[in-house]
Structures are given as structure tokens and as C-alpha cells.
Amino acid sequence: MNWYCVTLLQEHDCKLTKELIELIDREADLLIRGVKDSNLDGLRRRITILFLQYIKTPSFNPEAARYLKVSAPLC
């Protein structure tokens, strides 16, 4: 799943997507090193929050504009 997300995010070059890619790569690196899942909770929360921002941004997800009262671009 991480590879798919990174591929999707690389289509958009901005601060939000770069930070998301960096965090996803960091999670993968920590998993490879054998870090316990419980120690990744904070990192995963950050990834989730940023991904929700990403999918709520109309420039990345045009359907989001229908559900947002006020939309401001993040990039």
C-alpha cells in the first residue's frame, strides 16, 4: 500500500506531498529495522492527518470541493 500511495503523491509536487512521501518512507525504513508497531503510532497519526488534508484538497481531489464549505489550496 505504501508504494501505491507514494506513486499517487509523486504526481503532485508540493510541500504537502513531499512531507507525506518523506513520512511514508520513514515508516517503511523503521519497519525494515524492526521497530515495534506500537512505537510507530505518532508517525502513523501524522501520516493519517496529512493524507486527510491531501484528499480534502480540491486541486488533488476535485470531488472534495462538493463537500467543503470553504476550500483553500494547500500548495
Give 42-75 pLDDT, tens digit per residue: 999 999 999 999 989 888 888 888 877 655 566 6
Query: How deeply is 57 buried, as exposed, middle or buried, from its count of CB atoms within 10 A (0-12, 13-18, 19+)?
Result: buried
Q: Residue 51: give the domain boundaries.
A: 2-66
On whether residue 25 sits in a domain, the answer given is yes
How far does CA 26 lie from the centroid of its chain?
Answer: 12
Q: How many domains does the chain have?
A: 1
Sign of the C-alpha dihedral computed for residues 39, 5, 74 and 68 taken in this order: negative
On whether residue 45 sits in a domain, the answer given is yes
On whether residue 39 sits in a domain, the answer given is yes
Place of cell 500548495: 75
Q: Is the pLDDT of residue 33 over 70?
A: yes
Give 37-46 pLDDT, tens digit per residue: 999 999 999 9
In a 3-state reduction of DSSP, which class is residue 33?
coil
